[in-house]
Chains A and B, each alone.
Chain A
Amino acid sequence: MSKTPVQFSLNGSPAAVFVDDAQNLLDVLRRGVGDLSPKYGCGQGTCGSCTVLIDGEPHLSCLTLAETVEGRAVETTNGLAEGPQLHALQEAFMENFAAQCGYCTPGMLMAAKALLDRTPRPSREEVIEAISGNICRCTGYEPIIDAILAASGQPTRRTG
């Protein structure tokens, strides 16, 4: 099996790894780089728990051929907090009980970050659309939707 060198930016820092033929980005992030924040749920694009941002847009890392991120900027949940300071979305997820088992949370956070980066004050429908490729088995989605609205500084269904 041949190895291909790949260089990309991971959460703003340079990353360089040798990837196996046909290795997907999720596997490279978790096993090659040691960033365990994106999760393996299904490996077939259905659950969204592996969602990362590539050049600012959400992608499913389990379906991304790792060598295609050469020269690109990858963002994962590991890069959200600044030191001890959590990202507004992370704070809002805690405040709104948007994580139970937490397995979907990194994917939800990245899908939500992509939305808020583009649309700082999204409507409830836009939030639902933004997380429509992410499955949560625990929360029933409402607390997640509320958390994303709260992070954007808007009233949630419970408070508003």
Chain B
Amino acid sequence: MVTITTVETLQDAAANKGQGTAFLGGGTLLMRGVNYGDQNVSRIVRLRQPESLAGVSSEGERVRLGACATMATILKSADVAFLHAVARAVGGPAIRNMATVGGNVFAPHPYGDFAVALLALDAKLRMSDGSELELERLLAARETETRLIESVSAMRPAGDDFRFLKVTRVKPRGASVLSIAAWLPRRAGRISGARVAFGAMAPTPVRTPAVEAALEGVSLDQNGIDRALQSVANDLNPPDDSLASGWYRKEVAPVHLKRLLLGQGTR
């Protein structure tokens, strides 16, 4: 049996967290578990007014997204137009009205497309205890994290420096065979400080350090990106699932990375 505790603030929710307790975002994964008798959840803690943590705002060269902002909220905000293609890639319209940014960070494989984009955009999380944490660090240890996410701050990329691509089997919408997000700042036409993240290629969204290193100082053309394409396999050890085998994912990852980097195909 699952009990519900309704609280006023995120700090109250965090204080209630413990073994078997989960915080309710949009519920698209949590309620799915409840409906199917998930024994890991015995209590759900929810905010009476999650809207209070659903704001989207600009902070200089960064944007801040409330953890309870839904994909639909993102799509309504002109401040984060660069994230629209990412939010639109999550589920169908009803899912997007429910699925939150915070929940996406905790979504298990093959989900977490939005978190892939946040990872590429150097996301930092503000946690319920007031601390700040890099998304990358949380993802590496998310199974044991007890704090809650209050908001996420991400870089606002210039021009077409940010790119996102999602590969699915089911059209027009489906779960990821893989997704890729790349933030490619350029100086005098050459990449400087690229961040490239993959989804559905590991248990959580991951960055690909070898790819990023191989992109440093190159221009975005076939010659420039060759070494990065060869490096993809070094960084990734994708799982098998009903959508694709790990072997297949690894084989096609360079093909899709090339399309993303050269701006060919779907973005």
Listed in ascending order, the chain A residues whose CB lies under 8 Å from chain B are 1-2, 4, 21-22, 24, 43-45, 48, 51, 54, 57-60, 62-65, 67-68, 111, 114, 128-134
Contact = CB atoms under 8 A, between A and B. Distances in A.
Contacts of B32: 43-45, 63
A129 B93 contact: yes
Contacts of B92: 48, 131-134
A22 B20 CA distance: 14
Contact of B93 (A1, A22, A63, A130): A130
A24 to B, nearest CB: 6
B4 A22 contact: yes
Contact of B3 (A2, A54, A64, A130): A2
A129 B2 CA distance: 35
A21 B2 contact: yes
Contacts of A64: 27, 31, 98
B1 A21 contact: yes
B46 interface: yes
30 contacts: A21-B2, A24-B35, A43-B36, A44-B32, A45-B28, A45-B91, A48-B92, A58-B93, A58-B97, A59-B94, A60-B28, A60-B94, A62-B31, A63-B32, A63-B35, A63-B98, A65-B4, A65-B24, A65-B46, A68-B46, A111-B93, A114-B93, A129-B93, A129-B172, A132-B92, A132-B93, A132-B173, A133-B92, A133-B93, A133-B95
A139 B134 CA distance: 47
A45 B92 CA distance: 10
Interface of B: 1-4, 6, 24, 26-28, 31-32, 34-36, 44, 46, 72, 91-95, 97-98, 172-173
Nearest to A2: B3
Nearest 10 A/B pairs, CB to CB: A133-B92, A22-B2, A43-B35, A58-B94, A63-B31, A132-B173, A132-B92, A44-B32, A57-B97, A60-B94
Contacts of A128: 172
Nearest to A1: B1
Given A57-B72, A65-B27, A22 B94 contact: no
B161 to A, nearest CB: 27
Contacts of A132: 92-93, 172-173
Contacts of A51: 94
B95 to A, nearest CB: 6
Contacts of A133: 91-95, 173
Nearest to B98: A59
Nearest to B172: A132
A62 B30 CA distance: 11
Contacts of A54: 97
A135 B4 CA distance: 31
> Taking each of B3, B28, B92, B94, which has the highest tally of chain A beta carbons within 10 Å of its own beta carbon?
B94
B172 A67 contact: no
Nearest to B4: A21
B97 A63 contact: no
A21 B3 contact: yes
A22 B1 CA distance: 8
A63 B28 CA distance: 6
Query: Quick one: which of A4, A57, A132 has the most chain B CB within 10 A?
Result: A132
B29 to A, nearest CB: 8
A43 B32 CA distance: 7
A44 B98 CA distance: 13
A45 B44 CA distance: 19
A111 B40 CA distance: 33
Contacts of A59: 94, 97-98
A23 B44 CA distance: 12
A141 to B, nearest CB: 11
